[in-house]
Amino acid sequence: MIHKIEALLQQVEAFKPQAAAEIEEFRVRMLGRKGELNIVLEEFKKVAPEMKRELGQRINNLKNAINERIATLREEVEQQQTPEESQRDMTRPGTADAIGSRHPISLVKNEIVEIFSRLGYTVAEGPEIEDDWHVFSALNFPPEHPARDMQDTFFIQKNPDLLLRTHTSSIQVRTMEHQKPPIRVICPGRVFRNEAISYRAHCIFHQIEGLYIDENVSFADLKQSILYFAKELFGEKAQIRLRPSYFPFTEPSAEVDVSCNLCGGKGCNVCKHTGWLEIMGCGMVDPNVLEASGIDSKKYSGFAFGMGVERIAMLKFGVKDLRLYFENDVRFLRQFDSVF
Ligand code: PHE
């Protein structure tokens, strides 16, 4: 029996668990109801009385050795855990994921769409890869117009009839082809021009164009709609001024300026001391354009306008470099969280 106790003592000292779960298995094997210690104690009952004292002591030692070994091993396991793991409080609230915010260009686009929707406009969309007809020919661009020049427009090499739209006026043509007047659409979208990237130009930007066609639509309607838009976007004090201009698809045509919202029209760096900021092009739809899309130009008239969203956003937020809108630097983007 002494041998058995000695052998068990050796086992206890030599026990090196590979995993924490083995400690519990070991405890059960040694101290469990049918464990080694109880087996020894059973045998102990049968030993001669003169042996009991010594054996009893040895068994006691064994029991202590087992308990101590288990306690040490458990402690070791605990220390192997990182302090963070052992102190983990499962009842603490988790860390919330940061919520993203809308891109300033989307915010301004949505705001513009919203303003025109109050005037009864609905959103129309169209393809970014277009054909010559919808971007140029149907819009009264003569074949030799410089916008078709390889320097200005991205053409698709395999098929020169295909190109990246340079303006969203192509959506207006598509709308006129499929819809009878009255038409009131607003056309937001990405457009592409072969421009060198600088603080005020980019080869990709966003436009919003609008088209209104009905019987008896006049230039006065155009002017009033744009004044309403300018006041909604830049504030009640905003004024507009129209300067004669030229577009192949409108006649007469104009550039629209809005009174500078930064200096209130007095003159500052942003408005180059003129008190005015250019915001869009507009005009009465050329009868040739209406006819090209199958609309009777004797019965119907209409106006169109178009603006660059980046430009409006720069004026609205006082941002001086257009490239910031394309860099996706969150330090810049986060500032627009709650502008509207
Ligand atoms: N399509 C013109 C441009 O891209 C803008 C415009 C639209 C001007 C409608 C007049 C009327 O510059």
Does pLDDT of 82 surpass 70? no
Q: What is the pLDDT of residues 96-146, one digit of tens each?
A: 887 788 999 999 999 999 999 999 999 999 999 999 999 999 999 998 888
- How many A from CA of 211 to the centre of ligand 1? 10
Higher pLDDT, 76 or 166: 166
Q: What is the pLDDT of residue 338?
A: 66
Say how far apart CA 332 and CA 246 lie, in whole Å. Answer: 36
Q: Which contacts of 151-157 are long-range, i.e. CB under 8 A and separated by 24 or more positions?
A: 151/194, 152/193, 152/194, 153/192, 153/193, 153/194, 154/192, 154/193, 154/194, 154/203, 156/129
Q: What is the pLDDT of residue 276?
A: 94
Let me know: does 253 contact 281? Beta carbons within 8 Å. Answer: yes
Q: Which residue out of 116, 165, 185, 247 has the highest number of ligand 1 atoms within 8 Å of its CB and is therefore the one to mutate?
A: 247
Q: What is the pLDDT of residue 259?
A: 94
Whether residue 173 has its Cβ less than 6 Å from ligand 1: no
Give the start-to-end residue ranges of the domains of the chain.
Answer: 2-86, 104-336
- How many A from CA of 17 to the centre of ligand 1? 78
Whether residue 148 has its Cβ less than 6 Å from ligand 1: no
Using the Cα atoms of residue 45, residue 51, residue 56 and residue 59 in order, give the sign of their dihedral.
Answer: negative
- How many A from CA of 222 to the centre of ligand 1? 14
Nearest protein Cα to ligand 1, atom 4: 167
Q: What is the pLDDT of residues 311-332, one digit of tens each?
A: 999 998 888 899 999 998 989 9
Say how far apart CA 59 and CA 4 lie, in whole Å. Answer: 10
- CATH 3.30.930.10, domain 104-336, yes or no: yes
Atom of ligand 1 nearest to the CA of 169: 1
Q: What is the pLDDT of residue 86?
A: 62
Whether residue 281 has its Cβ less than 6 Å from ligand 1: yes
Nearest protein Cα to ligand 1, atom 2: 306
Nearest protein Cα to ligand 1, atom 8: 281
Whether residue 169 has its Cβ less than 6 Å from ligand 1: yes
Whether residue 167 has its Cβ less than 6 Å from ligand 1: yes
Whether residue 209 has its Cβ less than 6 Å from ligand 1: yes
- How many A from CA of 208 to the centre of ligand 1? 9
Q: How confident is the model at residue 267 (pLDDT cuts 50, 70, 90)?
A: confident
Say how far apart CA 106 and CA 10 lie, in whole Å. Answer: 75
Q: What is the pLDDT of residue 339?
A: 60
Rounded to the nearest integer, the mean pLDDT of the chain is 91
Whether residue 283 has its Cβ less than 6 Å from ligand 1: yes
Whether residue 250 has its Cβ less than 6 Å from ligand 1: yes
Q: What is the pLDDT of residue 76?
A: 85
- How many A from CA of 198 to the centre of ligand 1? 21
Does pLDDT of 81 surpass 80? no
Q: How confident is the model at residue 88 (pLDDT cuts 50, 70, 90)?
A: confident
Q: DSSP for 6-63?
A: HHHHHHHHH---SSTHHHHHHHHHHHSTTSHHHHHHHHHHHS-HHHHHHHHHHHHHHH
Does pLDDT of 83 surpass 70? no
Q: What is the pLDDT of residues 116-129, one digit of tens each?
A: 999 999 999 999 99
Please count the other Cβ atoms lying within 10 Å of the Cβ belonging to residue 292.
Answer: 19
- How many A from CA of 16 to the centre of ligand 1? 81
